[in-house]
Amino acid sequence: FPTWERTLIIYVGATAMWLIGKRLKKRHNLKDDVRESLYDECNTWVRAINTKGTKFLGGDGPNLADLAVYGVLSSIEGCDAFKDCLDRTKIGKWYFSMKEAVTQHQGAR
């Protein structure tokens, strides 16, 4: 790609993503600090598991809901947002139990 085209794509793409981010924030009722929304949802997830009184939402083994939430969190593992999430919520125990279940292919049994 020529230099002018790369530059155009970079700036138009950045502007488009900024606008899309604003619309998504309104649509999904996210807080100004979106990490706070992440922490709230992690706490909601942990409360649901604790209410059920099991290791996973699916019971003794993970179900598709567990896998979906694990997939979202594993995509940010290693980022500051993930570290903050572990520090500010109680999702760590569930997450690492889920990580072990996934690496041991427990869903295949």
Which has the closest alpha carbon to 60: 109, 8, 5, 1?
109
Confidence band for 94, pLDDT divided at 50, 70 and 90: very high
Say how far residue 87 (Cα) sits from the centre of its chain. 15
pLDDT digits (tens, 9 = 90+) for 8-57: 999 999 999 999 999 999 999 999 999 999 999 999 999 999 999 999 99
Q: pTM of the entire structure? A: 0.79
> Band of the pLDDT at 106, cuts 50, 70, 90?
confident
